[in-house]
C-alpha cells in the first residue's frame, strides 16, 4: 500500500512568488493534515480536513495561505505571496478517523526555500 | 506553558545503554500519547502509542505514563547508533488534533 505522497520534494522560489504543494493521502483515510515544521521544532498544524471539510484552520495564515481538498481525497496548499519566513518543511499527514488513538501517517514533506 | 514540552537535547548515550526520553503535557484529560521518530531530513514515523490506562512495551521500546505528574517517557533499551534521531512526543488535543513537542535529539555513541 502506498503511503502519503507529496510533491514536490523541494522548491526554491523568490519572495513574493506563489507556490503550491500537493498531497495524496493513504487510500481510505478521511482525515488529512497539513503541518509546518521549522528546523529544530516539532510539526505545527496548519489545517485539518475531515473528508472535504476544513474542520480546523485556526493556525492557517489566511491572508497568504489557502488550502483545498477536492472530493475529499487529494489536497493542495498554496502560499501567495511567499515571504522569507515561510521557508520550512511542509508535511502532509493522513489518518482514518474514529478514535483518539488514530495514528497519523506522514508524507516525505516539501522543503520550501524562499530567497 | 506549552501544551507539550520536551527537552531538545542532544541526549548522548553510549551504545548498549538505556536512553530515557521525557515529555510533559498540560491537558490533564489527555487519553493517548504518541512517540514519533524522525531521522534528519525525513518525515516523522510512529514508533509507539499508549493509552492512559497503562504502559506499553514493544521490543526494545517501552512507553510509560505518569498521570499524576503529567509526563510520558520513552525508554530505549540496548541503544544502537541507528536509534540516533529526533524523538517527537504528540498528544491529541480534542479528537484528532495532534500537538507535537519540539522533539529530543538522541545521539547513540558507538
Cell of A77: 496548499
Query: Looking at residue A80, what is its pLDDT?
Result: 97
Q: How confident is the model at residue A70 (pLDDT cuts 50, 70, 90)?
A: confident
Cα–Cα dist B87/B89, whole Å: 7
Q: Which residues of A touch B27 (CB under 8 A)?
A: none
pLDDT tens digits, residue range A3-49? 999 999 999 999 999 999 999 999 999 999 999 999 989 999 999 99
End-to-end CA distance of chain A: 37
Q: Do B88 and A42 touch (CB under 8 A)?
A: yes
Q: Is B51 on the interface with A (CB under 8 A)?
A: yes
Alpha carbons A25 and B26: distance in angstroms, whole number: 30
CB half-sphere exposure, B52, CA atoms < 13 A:
14
**Residue A103 pLDDT > 90, yes or no?**
no
Which is more confident, A98 or A108? A108
Across the interface, do B103 and A41 touch by the CB < 8 Å criterion?
yes
Q: What is the per-residue pLDDT for A101?
A: 63
Q: Give percent of chain A above pLDDT 70.
A: 96
How far, in Å, CA of A96 to CA of A32, rounded? 9
The dihedrals phi and psi of B83, each to the nearest 5 degrees, come to -80, -10
Contact B108, B84 (CB under 8 A): yes
C-alpha cell at A95: 489518518
Q: What percent of chain B has pLDDT over 70?
A: 95
Q: Is B7 in CB contact (< 8 Å) with chain A?
A: no
Q: Which of A40, A41, A107 sits opposite B43 (nearest CB)?
A: A107
Task: Supply φ then ψ for residue A84, to 5 degrees.
Answer: -55, -40
pLDDT of chain B along its 110 residues, tens only? Answer: 678 999 988 999 999 999 999 999 998 888 889 999 999 989 999 999 898 878 999 999 999 999 999 999 999 999 999 999 999 999 987 666 788 999 999 999 99
Q: Compute the distance between CA of residue A22 and CA of residue A77 in angstroms, rounded to an integer.
A: 7
A33 contacts B101? CB cut-off 8 A = no
Say yes or no for a CB contact (<8 Å) between A101 and B49: yes
Strand A110-114 to strand A10-13: parallel, antiparallel, or no bridges (unpaired)?
A: parallel
Q: Which residue of A has its CA nearest to B52?
A: A101
Q: Which of A44, A97, A107 sits opposite B96 (nearest CB)?
A: A97
User: Phi/psi of residue B55, each to 5°?
Assistant: -80, 170
Instruction: Give pLDDT, residue A38.
Output: 95
Please provide the DSSP assignment of A8-32 as one string: -SEEEE-TT--EEEEEE--TT--EE
- B104 with B54: CB under 8 angstroms? no
DSSP state of B78: S
Classify the C-alpha dihedral B69-B104-A29-A22 as positive or negative: positive
Q: Does the CB of B57 have a partner CB in chain A at under 8 Å?
A: no
Number of CB atoms found within 10 A of residue A63's CB = 7
Which of A83, A8, A73, A85 shows the shortest CA–CA distance to A39?
Answer: A85
Q: How far is CA A37 from the centre of its chain?
A: 10
Amino acid at each position: 500500500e502506498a503511503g502519503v505522497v507529496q510533491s514536490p520534494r523541494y522548491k526554491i522560489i523568490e519572495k513574493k512568488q506563489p507556490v503550491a504543494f500537493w498531497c495524496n493521502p493513504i487510500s481510505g483515510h478521511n482525515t488529512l493534515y497539513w503541518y509546518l515544521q521549522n528546523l529544530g521544532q516539532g510539526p505545527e498544524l496548519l489545517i485539518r480536513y475531515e473528508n472535504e471539510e476544513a474542520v480546523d484552520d485556526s493556525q492557517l495564515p489566511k491572508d497568504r495561505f489557502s488550502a483545498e481538498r477536492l472530493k475529499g481525497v487529494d489536497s493542495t496548499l498554496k502560499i501567495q505571496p511567499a515571504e522569507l519566513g515561510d521557508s520550512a518543511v511542509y508535511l502532509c499527514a493522513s489518518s482514518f478517523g474514529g478514535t483518539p488513538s488514530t495514528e497519523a501517517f506522514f508524507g516525505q514533506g516539501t522543503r520550501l526555500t524562499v530567497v | 506553558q506549552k501544551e507539550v514540552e520536551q527537552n531538545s537535547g542532544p541526549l548522548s548515550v553510549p551504545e548498549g545503554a538505556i536512553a530515557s526520553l521525557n515529555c510533559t503535557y498540560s491537558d490533564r484529560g489527555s487519553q493517548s500519547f504518541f512517540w514519533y521518530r524522525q531521522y534528519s531530513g525525513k518525515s516523522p514515523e510512529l514508533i509507539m502509542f499508549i493509552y492512559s490506562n497503562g504502559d506499553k512495551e514493544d521490543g526494545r521500546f517501552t512507553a510509560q505514563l505518569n498521570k499524576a505528574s503529567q509526563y510520558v517517557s520513552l525508554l530505549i533499551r540496548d541503544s544502537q547508533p541507528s536509534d540516533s534521531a529526533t524523538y517527537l512526543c504528540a498528544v491529541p488535543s480534542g479528537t484528532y488534533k495532534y500537538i507535537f513537542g519540539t522533539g529530543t535529539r538522541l545521539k547513540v555513541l558507538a
